Amino acid sequence: MTTEATNSKFKQRVFSGIQPSGGLTLGNYLGAIRRFVDMQEGGIETIYCMVDLHAITVWQDPAALRHQTRELAAGYLAAGLDPKKSILFNQSQVPEHAQLGWVFNCIARLGWMNRMTQFKDKAGKNAEKASLGLYAYPSLMAADILLYHATHVPVGEDQKQHVELTRDIAAKFNHDYGVDFFPMSEPVIEGAATRVMSLRDGSKKMSKSDPSDASRINMTDDADTIAKKIRKAKTDPEALPSELDGLKDRPEARNLVNIYAALAGISPQAVLDQHGGQQFSAFKPALVDLAVDHLAPISTEMARLMQHSDEIDAILRDGAARARAIASPILQQTYDIIGMLR
């Protein structure tokens, strides 16, 4: 059956999540949150989660985890997510995620998990010492998505493999039980910044876990810090080309052009139309202005919201109740399909 035929019976619904496992980066913002906000305005139901159960697949200090979960919520709100338009909640308040995750642990195959590149990257050479949760991580992520019968999943490039696995799990469940119950969720990977790279090394993804703070812009960085990091960003001695082809073997230059494009809401070619021929000594200050104009108000608003953590907690509790109202019947139907007694 084609994806369209399978999905036609499902209401369009957007689901995505971010781990509260450290501070938010510009990569999270441009690759995910900004696009969450765009989709919120698209007339489709939108559900955005703080995936705290995923975060603990790697040890987290409990007080830090609570702080980071609130800070992530503050980031969602400061960037423009509106709890009246979107459901915002943290995963552990909706126990159905873990329950459906267990069912999917029994659907997913070891061979599928062994192909997951994020597990290999995160577990590193010492996979024997990685938690079982880290290994099963993608199956819980499939549960996050399918618990809402989500049809669209906005993510950065690095999550594509996990969303494809989600489709494999849905297809195997539907096949094994002879039902058409779970949709084939589509990854939505769009825009100029689906893979924002490190400011220190254009071959590495910008990441909250990079030991070098200079490699990333944090959403909590103030204007001076943002300016300093962009000014120090690694580049090459050439001027910017006027055509995209000229960026092919220049990962650092390409990254800064993509960041500019995503922040300005224009295409990378439009950036080159405006700045082609310029040296980085001219382009970087333009990027600093754009980044500071865009990001400083968000970090200021995050800091303000963090002074009102009781309000954040209330928003998340309300979001969890609304999420549960959707998730609970879908879990119940899943249990009925697989033969659990009520």
Residue numbers annotated as active site: 122, 205, 208
Nearer to ligand TYM, 113 or 239 (CB): 113
Q: Which of 39, 50, 116, 141 binds ligand TYM (CB under 6 A)?
A: 141
Q: From the CB of 221, what's the least distance to ligand TYM, in Å?
A: 15
Q: From the CB of 147, what's the least distance to ligand TYM, in Å?
A: 10
Give one DSSP letter per residue of 152-211, joined into a string.
EEE--GGGHHHHHHHHHHHHHHHHHHT---S--PEEE--STTSSPBPSS-TTSB--TT-S
Q: Nearest to ligand TYM by Cβ — which residue?
A: 31
Which residue has tokens 């501070």?
A: 23
147 binds ligand TYM (CB under 6 A): no
Q: Are 134 and 123 in contact (CB under 8 A)?
A: yes
Q: From the CB of 283, what's the least distance to ligand TYM, in Å?
A: 20
312 binds ligand TYM (CB under 6 A): no
Q: Which of 7, 13, 14, 16 binds ligand TYM (CB under 6 A)?
A: 16
Q: Which of 7, 28, 139, 258 binds ligand TYM (CB under 6 A)?
A: 28
Q: Which of 81, 153, 217, 305 binds ligand TYM (CB under 6 A)?
A: 153
- The 3 state secondary structure assigned to 57-107 is CCCCCHHHHHHHHHHHHHHHHHHCCCCCCEEEEEHHHCCHHHHHHHHHHCC
**CB atoms near residue 317 (< 10 Å):** 12
Nearest to 253 by CA among 287, 224, 294, 219: 287
Q: From the CB of 143, what's the least distance to ligand TYM, in Å?
A: 9
Q: What is the Rg, in whole angstroms, of the alpha carbon atoms belonging to the chain?
A: 21
Contacting residues toward ligand TYM, per CB under 6 A: 15-19, 27-28, 31-32, 51, 54, 141, 144-145, 153, 155-156, 158-159, 162, 193-196, 205-206
